[in-house]
Homo-oligomer: A and B are copies of this chain.
Amino acid sequence: MDDLSPLRSDTPGATSLADRIAEAIATGEYPPGTRLDEIELAERHGVSRTPVREALIQLGAAGLLTLRPRRGAVVTEVSARQLMEMFEVMAELEAMCARLAARRASAADQQALRAAHLGCVGAMQAGDPDAYYLRNETFHHTLYRIAHHGFLEQQALALSRRLRAYRRLQLRVRTRLSSSFAEHQALVDAVCGGDESAAAQCCREHVSVQGERFADLLASMAAERRA
């Protein structure tokens, strides 16, 4: 579990209130459009409204919540179009990571990427979607890290967090897993082979495909929710 925002808590064990709420959003406990009541959150977490408000503001700044003055906080609803756009930017950031990784990754870095990829494969073969979700996240985070570009890593992680709830929905689409594998494999090969443009292109396609699938899924879910 990665913590929210650069201002990381001093005590590694204790996750911040904002993190816990973000986690609840990511897991779908608070679906998009859910209105978050400050008092309820305060009681649930055993604190007063003040820290709750501060957490909500943080999440609002991160884009996970939409705060309307005097009207409370709701989990940000993103349209299919917006989601596509977010995935497009994510693709570009990851492509930049891939390009840099192909150029800069050390042998150990390459090994880490391969290991993360194998983790995905294992989870896929075990047919464990939850494990795959986590392994896949690790794989992408590994890519960000081995680009050796601190700020880019931060930005990629931030956007990745914001898309987390939607990425989780990917688990429902069974066919995505195997095709995702092939795409990861190509990326690993390109990065380890030092082929910058191939790595970048791989990434763009991989994430873009995800974006399209998610947009479809979201649209169908929205229809489902209305029914």
Contact = CB atoms under 8 A, between A and B. Distances in A.
A88 B68 CA distance: 33
Given A54-B54, A61-B61, A149 B6 contact: no
A192 to B, nearest CB: 23
Interface string A33-70: 00000000000000000100110011011110011110
A92 B89 contact: no
B6 A63 contact: yes
B152 A85 contact: yes
A5 interface: yes
A60 B6 CA distance: 8
A34 to B, nearest CB: 17
Given A88-B149, A92-B92, A149-B88, A66 B155 contact: no
State the number of copies, please: 2
Contacts of A50: 50
Given A7-B67, A9-B69, A89 B85 contact: no
19 contacts: A5-B60, A5-B61, A6-B60, A6-B63, A6-B66, A7-B66, A7-B68, A7-B69, A10-B69, A50-B50, A54-B57, A58-B61, A61-B61, A61-B62, A82-B151, A85-B150, A89-B93, A89-B96, A89-B151
Interface of A: 5-7, 9-10, 50, 53-54, 57-58, 60-63, 66-69, 82, 85-86, 88-89, 92-93, 96, 149-152, 155
- 9 closest A-B pairs by CB: A61-B61, A85-B151, A7-B67, A57-B57, A58-B61, A86-B151, A92-B96, A5-B61, A54-B57
